[in-house]
Structure 1
Amino acid sequence: MKKILVATDASEYSRKALKNALELARKFHSEVELLFVMYKPLVYDVNQLDMDLISPDLLEEAGELAIQATLEGMDVTDVSLTKKILPGKPANIILREIESENIDLVVMGSHGYGAIAGAILGSVSQRVLHGAKCSVLIAK
């Protein structure tokens, strides 16, 4: 197991996922990728040209805050950790990242942040679980 992907939304479930991933990374000398995906809805004008509703600056700021909150109090000094912030539909981006980065294991929380986000991440974890070509660990 060389590469572990941890999907985060800064929830306690995401923090538990990272904690599990770090333990596995230490045991197997694996790299960890901490990924925050910001759902980025698009609208279409009359000419069918898509326009972003979320600015790149807002995406970066939200991603940095989510990653900082996930890493708060975690000791990552002895683990190779990469942080990524990407826009899009979370399940689609996570599944794409699994393929493009040759991920061996995905670790993610079972629920997300709050009632609405929790329902979204619950469906995201289900889609990743069923669509991933690697093992998926769901942290509770």
Structure 2
Amino acid sequence: MTSANDGTLSLQQFLPYRLSALANRISQSLAVKYSKQYGISVQEWRILAALGEETKLSAVGITNRIAMDKVAVSRAVKRLIEKDLIIKHLDDNDQRSHELSLSAQGVDIYQKLVPIALKHEQQVTANLTKKEKESLLKLLSKLDNAPL
């Protein structure tokens, strides 16, 4: 499936490449929709989304949750703090660690971005049937849980 008889690799048939390229295209096309209006980058949006879902997370928790490089998370967190969209406070259970949460302004931006993201998802999957969407999500979960 991914190689020709001569030992070369066909990127268009190579699953890791296809998934990465598709994810980048979808993320970038979504970013176009919210970055100009709200000044939020893809990395910042992912952090806002994680905190919108979980309420409180450490930087490590965010890194693990959104599968993003810890340096990129750290930089995006710093920008979000500077924009007053997230708050950094000591972890109640571990005084050596910090937790992050959305500020009131962060909650407001998050609530404005969610409908944009959901509409974008609908547009991306518009040519799939309901059954195909369900199958896609199941297949992605299987791939996500595969041993690497």
- Structure with higher RCO (Cα < 8 A, 6+ apart): 1
TM-score above 0.5, yes or no: no
What is the TM-score normalised by the length of structure 1?
A: 0.27
**Structure showing greater Rg:** 2
